[in-house]
Amino acid sequence: KSLPNSSTTYDTNPTLSPSFQLYQPNKVKAYQTTNTYNRLIEPDKWQSSSDLNNMTNLLKLLTTKNIKAKLGKDTQSMGNNNGGGVSQTINTITTTGNISEGLKEETSIQAETLKKFFDSKQNNKSEIGIGDSTFTKMDGKLTG
């Protein structure tokens, strides 16, 4: 016994429930290709191989190896702050005057400690140079 042949017929102006439109956009698109709603929820296919190349290039840019290199941290020297890596510790080379008094001769201090020190000292200078980094006090907050 063989199954009977089946054919599909479409209603020219179907009335669809909201849930049908939300969860089955591909079936809606089959007979309502000009509907703006369907175009919004189901984007057009990729037009050419150049689209794929652009996406591949973007993904290559976003790899962790690339990002670490841009931040100055390559895979060999992870943990070293050479060339732009972000660190919460400020290394001081020389300290003089009331700065060294507040730092108590430490060679390396946390950024939070430095902020508390400047907030408590009421320093009139707007910039303080520490090592090779300059920190500017703005609105009571320390920014590097």
Decide if 43 is inside a domain.
Answer: no
Decide if 10 is inside a domain.
Answer: no
pLDDT for 36-69, tens place per residue? Answer: 555 555 445 556 666 677 777 777 777 777 766 6
What is the SS3 assignment for 61? Answer: helix
Decide if 38 is inside a domain.
Answer: no
Residue 135 lies in domain:
89-143
pLDDT for 63-85, tens place per residue? Answer: 777 766 666 555 554 554 444 55
What is the SS3 assignment for 111? Answer: helix
Question: What's the first-to-final CA gap in the chain, in angstroms?
Answer: 82
Q: pTM surpassing 0.85? A: no
Decide if 75 is inside a domain.
Answer: no
Q: What is the pLDDT of residue 132?
A: 44
Decide if 115 is inside a domain.
Answer: yes
Decide if 26 is inside a domain.
Answer: no
Length of the chain measured in residues:
144
51, two tokens: 């689209």
| Domains: count for the chain | 1
Decide if 22 is inside a domain.
Answer: no
